[in-house]
Amino acid sequence: MSNTNQLLQHFLSHRSVTNELIQKIEETHYDYKPTPTSMSAQKLVTHMMTSFYKFVAVVKVGNLSPFQERKEETESSLSTLAHTYTTQTVKLLESLTEEELEKELEVAAIFGSNLTGKQMLSIAIDHEIHHKGNLFVYVREMGHTELPLYMNVK
């Protein structure tokens, strides 16, 4: 199994659970925050979806420009947003070459040191896992008790 395929499968083992949690968030709860300083459910989901895509885009283009783009997300349905970004992220991950994964990226301005593409994707997955933990709390606070395991193992 190639590095790209392993990364893709690892990503999907977590993203599928993230998407399952997002399906449980009703539109009436999009503004929900567990604490006053927390992101709203909508902002958290949008952050998760757009951030992972940007991490992969940085690896693809070889510089920080995707992080510097400030696009206002207009999709109002979190489920649609999750589906769209997951599909786009999978396509981008599938397009990565071994060379792109091994290339050292000049990302010290944000991450404190330069990283390889593979290291960037590892950070992206850790970021997703971190915020997925937040999302579990949000969804449980919304009253849901039937929740998935933290990752899908196939």
How confident is the model over 22-58, as pLDDT tens digits? 999 999 999 999 999 999 999 999 999 999 999 999 9
Tokens linked to 16:
């599928």
Q: Is the pLDDT of residue 74 over 80?
A: no
Higher-confidence residue of 59 and 2: namely 59
Q: Cα–Cα distance between 59 and 68 in angstroms, integer? A: 14
pTM metric for this prediction: 0.93
Tokens linked to 145:
């008790």
Tokens linked to 36:
């006053």
- Output the pLDDT for position 1: 59
- Output the pLDDT for position 153: 82
Contact 151, 71 (CB under 8 A): no
Tell me which CATH code domain 3-141 carries.
1.20.120.450
End-to-end CA distance of the chain: 15
Q: In degrees rounded to 5, what are phi and psi of residue 31?
A: -90, 0
Q: Which residues pair with 104 in a beta bridge?
A: 116
Place of tokens 């992972």: 52
Instruction: Encode burial over 99-124: b for 16+ CB neighbours within 10 A, e otherwise.
Output: ebbeeebebeeeeeeebbbbbbbeeb
Contact 85, 49 (CB under 8 A): yes
Place of tokens 């909508």: 42
Q: Is the pLDDT of residue 135 over 70?
A: yes
Q: Is the pLDDT of residue 95 over 90?
A: yes
